[in-house]
A and B are shown apart, each in its own frame.
Chain A
């Protein structure tokens, strides 16, 4: 046993060497501080950004802890309590919030607040502060790297997007036949920005499959003890990559839509 339900085991069979973990988190922290100093860090955030992040975190909690676990039962590989439909919900909402705020730090801040909220509603602060550090500096950081990489135009959403909804008028003929799904998808894919957004969402979604390796390979034994099954880790990671890519892409499309609706 150890502090706050953390076993603190670092030399279980198959466990990722703790030195590697320390190195990763040290580098991640260095990057965060360097970039924060360069770009102004949290001072660049307006109050409305904190509101978006707060509402997003509320939605993520509802999905991940209450709706997701119900849906998880549909998933054959719901082998752990941390990956599954609930996790897809997390991808969906966090990406959406990142698409709305688009400031470096959104990802980490969202994960930090989501973790605190998760502790209040579900986990009861067990395993803290390890969880928060782990999730903020992996999932959160990946989102922020994507925002930095796209110069704040995540998923092709630009700051100069229409402020207020302007609706293009269509033909006024009274034909009520709808375009077919294939035609709609085809038309959407002709838009370069949409394709770029979907691509970014897919890549970011795929990148979110990777911290799971870190969790199962180091944090699970570190927090709870037990051995590490790399066969299981590989199976889980590989089986989730397609789902995460698809969800990431869908999240990007929805983020583009919601950003347009809200005039963000």
Chain B
């Protein structure tokens, strides 16, 4: 029996002529698990919002055709009514979790359905049993990590006891541990509920899906059983979807499996050797940082890091390892009231440990996760020039180079806050670089980005390091690190336990909760073939 039936669906957002989504026919059977993928802005979210009723009930626009849930047309139902059948988990847990206590968050849905205490309690226990968050029940929601918060949000959706579960990029903004727990949950739910999962990490979703749907430019361009995926690898790549290398080589070698070890041995047998990524040794040491940070009762950071000129150093570590705190201590952004700290930060031999923010900013600069907060000017051009103006620097050549690298000429008169997320990120990057500062610190710039934008970011970082900048980047994305970083620093329990080549780091990273990317396994034990000195 089909629980979702879509026919001749066409939708355009209010005030826009172009069609955001057009689906001739789509049906999803009860108990089916479907992966919906596509690059950012392809129409994936529009599709699922047509199913959970957000379109047309919350987001207005021109809608034609029909979406039926168990035979009933969505446009004739209320969102609250639909929520009894369809549960929706969104990308950003911080925006979804509304209540102060975890228990209140889980009870929120059943309370809205006017359930009595006994019924709420029953639903609460049933949901918690399925998601395994018993240890979080007494916590306040604002003390949870991103991954924990997402599991709480998932539990609160499960407490609605939906038959269909929609997850819209549920792991894009959370740490690897949280990601793993969400995937484990989905694995257990396979066959029990109808699952619609929007996800960029195709290979992670494969174990629990039956079918893959690719959305591109508002249309379903591919709808295949997962068994046929290897045959369609090139099409997926062409549509901007991140496909791990083993799938690519498995497809090329005509294998029926993408298991990393099998692909690796088949490559060896075929005499194909993969090129390692270039790691640059850079110039001399430009940054030496040592910080200790304490909160009452414990030391949360006791770490030292060095970086060489013109290199990308990636810091990885489990959630709570102290990565962002370490970064903030280098920048002087830690609050004296919350933390006790001491640090020695030397840039090119100059000790800036005691400098105030504006002085420190002449040596190190920073791209925060919420980069929107730094966009204070009315045009892109003024935003990028801000630092130079405030520091009374004139360097037209640098400005021109930065406008070129980040492709900003076309949008220079635009309001920075009106741009797309990718463009805003580029404007923010440009504006922190246009001040002659030489060290850039970045906190989770890969979070929530799709393959295309991560790839672009990696290439931009490579370009700016070639201009002489040094980049320290905190990220959870092992593949990004493997492809673009020159060095990997692993942080564990507040300490840097490893700093060196990513190849060496990923040999030991698993013991610190960092899963190496499959790219690394495919090249294991190979020597670095290229080393570029600056």
Contact = CB atoms under 8 A, between A and B. Distances in A.
Given A178-B379, A260-B418, A161 B400 contact: no
A162 B411 contact: no
Interface in B37-81: 58, 61
Interface string A162-173: 111101111011
Nearest to B409: A172
Nearest to B384: A176
Contact of B418 (A46, A48, A172, A261): A261
Nearest to A46: B58
Contacts of B385: 176
Contacts of B419: 165, 167
Interface string B215-236: 0000000000000000000000
A120 B144 CA distance: 26
B417 interface: yes
A169 B415 CA distance: 12
A159 interface: yes
B134 interface: no
A261 B381 contact: no
Given A47-B58, A176-B400, A162 B15 contact: yes
A168 B419 CA distance: 10
B312 to A, nearest CB: 28
Contacts of A162: 15-16
B381 A164 contact: no
Interface residues on A, range: 20 to 34
A174 B403 contact: yes
B412 interface: yes
Interface string B375-403: 00001011001000000000010011001
Given A169-B410, A170-B410, A260-B418, A163 B400 contact: no
Contacts of B415: 257, 260-261
B420 interface: yes
Interface in A44-72: 46-48
A155 B381 CA distance: 27
Given A174-B403, A176-B400, A176-B403, A168 B16 contact: no
A56 to B, nearest CB: 17
Interface in B403-449: 403, 409-415, 417-420, 423
Contacts of A163: 13-16, 61
Given A170-B412, A170-B413, A165 B420 contact: yes
B381 A178 contact: yes
A160 interface: yes
Contacts of B14: 159-160, 163
B322 to A, nearest CB: 30
B217 to A, nearest CB: 15
A13 B507 CA distance: 86
Contacts of B417: 261
Contacts of A172: 409-410
Interface string A14-52: 000000000000000000000000000000001110000
A164 B43 CA distance: 13
A35 B415 CA distance: 38
A261 B423 CA distance: 14
Interface string A249-264: 0000000010011000
B400 A167 contact: no
Nearest to B404: A174
A161 B15 contact: yes
Contact of A176 (B399, B411, B420, B423): B399
Given A165-B419, A170-B413, A173-B409, 17 more contacts: A160-B14, A160-B15, A162-B15, A163-B14, A167-B411, A167-B414, A167-B418, A167-B419, A167-B423, A169-B410, A169-B411, A170-B412, A172-B410, A174-B403, A176-B385, A176-B400, A261-B417
23 contacts: A46-B58, A160-B14, A160-B15, A162-B16, A163-B13, A163-B14, A164-B13, A164-B16, A165-B419, A165-B420, A167-B414, A167-B418, A167-B423, A172-B409, A172-B410, A174-B400, A174-B409, A176-B396, A176-B400, A176-B403, A260-B415, A261-B415, A261-B418
Closest CB pairs A-B (n = 5): A163-B13, A165-B418, A170-B413, A167-B414, A160-B15
Interface of A: 46-48, 159-165, 167-170, 172-174, 176, 178, 257, 260-261
